[in-house]
Chains A and B, each alone.
Chain A
Amino acid sequence: MVELPPPARPGKARGLTAAIAGWLLFIAVETAIQVAFKYAGATLDDRAGLAHLAAHALATPVVLLGFGLYFCGFLIWLTILKEVDLGRAFPMTSIVYVTTLACAVVLFHEALNPTRIAGVAVIALGVALLASDTGSQAPPQDAS
Chain B
Amino acid sequence: MTALAWLLFSLTVLLDVLGQTAFKLGLDGLAEGIEGAAFWRGVATSPWIAAGFLGYCVEAVSWMYVLGHAPLSIVGPMAALSYVGAVLTGRLFLGERPRARRWIGAGLVTLGAGLVGASLG
Indicate, yes or no, whether A interacts with B.
Answer: yes
Instruction: Find out whether the CB atom of B115 lies under 8 angstroms from the CB atom of A129.
Output: no
User: Looking at the complex, which one of A63, A118, A129, A136 makes contact with B64 (CB distance below 8 Å)?
Assistant: A63
Q: Does B40 contact A (CB under 8 A)?
A: no
Residues of A within 8 A of B76 (CB): 34, 38, 97, 100-101, 104
Please, what's the 1-or-0 string for B47-69, where 1 marks a CB less than 8 Å from any CB in chain A?
00000000000001111111111
- Main secondary structure on B side of the interface with A: helix
Please, what's the 1-or-0 string for B100-121, where 1 marks a CB less than 8 Å from any CB in chain A?
0111111111111111111101
Q: Does B71 contact A (CB under 8 A)?
A: yes
Query: CA separation between A138 and B63, bound complex, in Å?
Result: 36
Residue of A nearest to B86 (CB): A130
- A interface residues, how many (CB within 8 angstroms): 49
Within the complex, the shortest CB–CB distance from A36 to chain B, in Å, comes to: 10
Instruction: Find out whether the CB atom of B68 lies under 8 angstroms from the CB atom of A44.
Output: yes
Q: Does A42 contact B (CB under 8 A)?
A: yes
Residues of A within 8 A of B80 (CB): 97, 123, 126-127
Q: Does B98 contact A (CB under 8 A)?
A: yes
Which residues 120-144 of A sit at the B interface, judged by CB distance below 8 A? 120-133, 135-139
Give residues in A with beta carbon < 8 Å to B: 34-35, 37-38, 40-44, 46, 50, 53-54, 57, 63, 67, 97, 100-101, 103-105, 108, 110, 112-113, 115-116, 118-133, 135-139
Apart from A116-B74, A116-B119, A119-B115, 20 more pairs, CB < 8 Å: A37-B63, A37-B67, A40-B68, A41-B65, A46-B65, A53-B61, A97-B76, A116-B73, A116-B116, A119-B116, A119-B119, A122-B111, A125-B108, A126-B106, A129-B105, A130-B83, A130-B109, A132-B105, A133-B102, A137-B99
